[in-house]
Chain A
Amino acid sequence: MTPHFLTRSLDRSASIFILVVAGLGVLIPLSNLLLPAGSMFQVPTYLVALFGKYACYAILALSIDLIWGYCGILSLGHGAFFALGGYAMGMYLMRQIGSRGVYGNPVLPDFMVFLNYPSLPWYWYGFDMFWFAALMVLVVPGLLAFCFGWLAFRSRVTGVYLSIITQAMTYALLLAFFRNDFGFGGNNGLTDFKDILGFNVQADGTRAALFLLSCLALIITFLICRAVVTSKLGKVLIAIRDAESRTRFLGYRVESYKLFVFTLSACMAGVAGALYVPQVGIINPGEFAPGNSIEAVIWVAVGGRGTLVGAALGAVVVNYAKTVFTSGPLAPYWLFMLGALFILVTLLLPKGIIGTFNAWWEGRKARQVAANAESAAREDGIGEPRAAE
């Protein structure tokens, strides 16, 4: 099955995307580790971590594009799945600290000692094992998305109503995770990580490896998305997006399709969050903020929804702009710029960067074909009188 998927899902732009991501994924860590510090081509470690963050955002953008761009489900709460994946990884990292914490308790993380927890809450069991945490990175967001989607799609909640309840979902989680007695570190979240799989999370080598893994995850997520959207299921998703009731009258169970793609997308967002946390060194309830989810939707809109490559590109471009502006004197105005960017893209580039480029490229090809046909016709015209002679 896999080779069939690959051949069908790899067109030119997809191949370019994979080559670029794979190239960066290998070259950036190599340059960071092998070249002497201060060399012109050496990528400093803080940049490796920053680029790693971008790769995670790109995965989140892909997961949103899969449901919004192809199936018309506008989730304004996808940051929740990202954050849940992040918390699952954060819990593993907290357990790895062991007795090296400030209070030196071998089992309880610092915040639990501080809050007088008598023992480890049951839902923290198992997170000392990496495989369990990795499984939860997929299962927790996936399960929440499945339950949420099962209720919402079966009741035929669509459009703006669905967007609003996804927003409410992430906000409810934000409030829950802010509570100290919820057992996830409250306001401060989870931080002060030491090791991941025995490697120091601060070490250059670990950071380089995490970056490489993020690029790899981005490629795998991209391939899964491509396989889904180029299958017949992808055509059904587009059909649902464009004419939902028509699809139903053709005998498709629309809610099952939405549920499948929504759950898959949530799992991808969870993976993005899990890779994000060790690279930024903290996860706190702020990640559930509705604003984060909306920002992620803007990345997709800027890059071009329904293009996958565009979504990933949009995530990188907008976040790079954010990094540049928020570290300069324009920092207080960043949110205004983001809002203006969204309005401008909606008005001037409704198809986003990649969508507009694709339309231009197709148009150019069509014009070239027309021009070739015309010049061929002209040559025929010249040839004819001669033949008559």
Chain B
Amino acid sequence: MSVMEGRTTSALLYLDGVHVSFDGFHAINNLSLTLEPGEMRAIIGPNGAGKTTMMDIITGKTKPDEGTVLFDGMTDLTRLDETRIAELGIGRKFQKPTVFESQTIEDNLLLALNVDHSVKGTLFWRGSRDEAERIDRVLETIRLTDARYRLAGSLSHGQKQWLEIGMLLAQDPKLLLVDEPVAGMTDVETHQTAELLKEINKEKTVMVVEHDMTFVRELGVKVTCLHEGTVLAEGTIDQVSSNERVIEVYLGR
């Protein structure tokens, strides 16, 4: 059974005492973290701090050796696979923008819509007005309306990042995990992305991993700094960035 009896926490995402090691290397070490519904959280930390591994655990790609991972207070994510977790309402944007390059922008979004994903459902699928309207809305949000019939592979790096965020929106999850959304973006695009994420956060819970401190500051949310697979510091951006240990291992003097 993946659903526990009764809620044990009010948090949307609850990680407690999570351990993962790969061939003796402790990628995640007694990691505990909670995300309240409606919250946006920024995760920072040096390379190898375990940020992406943490997302792998939440989305079912990696199984933890120990620890609790609860979604919505009830569901044990460690027992479910990627497909099931996506169906529960956790969407993920990868570090390297991953879109379906040989298909059009519109088809990318169509594939992401959270409609019937069964073999039979897709084989006999016929578009509906509702679906078309949802795609239109997402296209407008990510400013790719004019590019809808272009192949995703022809987009610029920044546009691919946006398309992938758009796919998350079309998926309509409760929780969005966004890994390095502004990598390779210009300052203007970075600013627009911060605005977009703030807009998304009005309805959804978001976890953002990012190295760009200007961007993290612009988000203006609670920050968690990871180091060697565990939480090093947590608080406002000012609290975290003035923390001695954070400066030592990550920000530099």
| Bound CA–CA A251/B112 (angstroms) | 8
Q: Are A257 and B119 in contact (CB under 8 A)?
A: yes
Q: Are A239 and B111 in contact (CB under 8 A)?
A: yes
Q: Are A233 and B125 in contact (CB under 8 A)?
A: yes
Of B61, B86, B101, B102, the residue contacting A250 (CB under 8 A) is B86
| Bound CA–CA A239/B108 (angstroms) | 9
Q: A246-B98, A251-B86, A256-B119 are in contact. Are A232 and B103 (CB under 8 A)?
A: no
Q: Are A233 and B122 in contact (CB under 8 A)?
A: yes
| Bound CA–CA A236/B118 (angstroms) | 10
Q: A239-B100, A242-B102, A243-B100 are in contact. Are A248 and B86 (CB under 8 A)?
A: yes
Q: A239-B103, A248-B83, A250-B86 are in contact. Are A4 and B92 (CB under 8 A)?
A: no
Q: A242-B101, A242-B102, A245-B82 are in contact. Are A250 and B112 (CB under 8 A)?
A: yes
Of A233, A238, A243, A251, the residue contacting B98 (CB under 8 A) is A243
| Chain A stretch 236-284: residues in CB contact (< 8 A) with chain B | 236, 238-239, 242-243, 245-254, 256-257, 260
Of B61, B99, B103, B171, the residue contacting A235 (CB under 8 A) is B103
- The reply on B138 being an interface residue by CB < 8 A is no
Chain A min CB distance to B80 (Å): 12
Q: A242-B101, A245-B61, A246-B94 are in contact. Are A232 and B83 (CB under 8 A)?
A: no
Pick from A228, A239, A251, A254 the residue with the most CB of B within 10 Å. Answer: A251
Q: Are A253 and B117 in contact (CB under 8 A)?
A: yes
Q: A235-B103, A238-B102 are in contact. Are A250 and B119 (CB under 8 A)?
A: no
| Chain B stretch 100-129: residues in CB contact (< 8 A) with chain A | 100-103, 107, 110-112, 114, 117-119, 122-126
- The reply on B87 being an interface residue by CB < 8 A is yes
Contacts of B161 in A (CB 8 A): none
Chain B, interface size: which category? 20 to 34
Contacts of A253 in B (CB 8 A): 83, 117-118
**Residue total for A at the interface (Cβ-Cβ under 8 A):** 25
| Bound CA–CA A235/B107 (angstroms) | 8
- The reply on A1 being an interface residue by CB < 8 A is yes
Chain A min CB distance to B169 (Å): 12
Contacts of B87 in A (CB 8 A): 251
- The reply on A231 being an interface residue by CB < 8 A is yes
Report the nearest B residue to A237, measured CB to CB. B122
Contact with A along B41-72 (1 / 0, CB 8 A): 00000000000000000010100000000000
Contacts of B103 in A (CB 8 A): 235, 238-239, 242
Report the nearest B residue to A231, measured CB to CB. B123
- The reply on B219 being an interface residue by CB < 8 A is no
| Bound CA–CA A332/B149 (angstroms) | 51
Q: Are B126 and A4 in contact (CB under 8 A)?
A: yes
Chain B min CB distance to A256 (Å): 5
Chain A min CB distance to B185 (Å): 20
Chain A min CB distance to B109 (Å): 11
Q: Are A249 and B124 in contact (CB under 8 A)?
A: no
Q: Are A235 and B110 in contact (CB under 8 A)?
A: yes
| Bound CA–CA A260/B122 (angstroms) | 12
- The reply on B167 being an interface residue by CB < 8 A is yes
Contacts of B99 in A (CB 8 A): 243, 246
| Bound CA–CA A232/B111 (angstroms) | 8
Report the nearest A residue to B152, measured CB to CB. A242
Chain A min CB distance to B155 (Å): 14
Q: Are B124 and A238 in contact (CB under 8 A)?
A: no
Q: A232-B122, A242-B102 are in contact. Are A252 and B83 (CB under 8 A)?
A: yes
| Bound CA–CA A248/B124 (angstroms) | 20
Chain B min CB distance to A343 (Å): 25
| Bound CA–CA A66/B83 (angstroms) | 24
Contacts of B122 in A (CB 8 A): 231-233, 235-236
Report the nearest A residue to B115, measured CB to CB. A232
Q: Are B124 and A1 in contact (CB under 8 A)?
A: yes
| Chain A stretch 33-88: residues in CB contact (< 8 A) with chain B | none
Contacts of B82 in A (CB 8 A): 245, 248-249
| Bound CA–CA A151/B167 (angstroms) | 31
Pick from A4, A228, A235, A243 the residue with the most CB of B within 10 Å. Answer: A235
Q: Are A251 and B117 in contact (CB under 8 A)?
A: yes
Contacts of A243 in B (CB 8 A): 98-101
**The 7 A-B residue pairs with the shortest CB-CB distance in the complex, in nearest-first order:** A251-B86, A232-B125, A233-B122, A248-B82, A232-B122, A233-B123, A246-B98
Q: Which residues of A pack against B, CB within 8 Å?
A: 1, 4, 228, 231-233, 235-236, 238-239, 242-243, 245-254, 256-257, 260
Q: Which residues of B pack against A, CB within 8 Å?
A: 59, 61, 82-83, 86-87, 91-92, 94, 98-103, 107, 110-112, 114, 117-119, 122-126, 167, 171
27 contacts between A and B (CB under 8 A): A1-B124, A4-B126, A231-B123, A231-B125, A232-B111, A232-B123, A232-B125, A233-B119, A235-B107, A238-B100, A242-B102, A242-B103, A243-B98, A243-B100, A246-B94, A248-B86, A249-B91, A250-B86, A250-B112, A251-B83, A251-B87, A251-B114, A251-B171, A253-B117, A256-B119, A257-B119, A260-B119
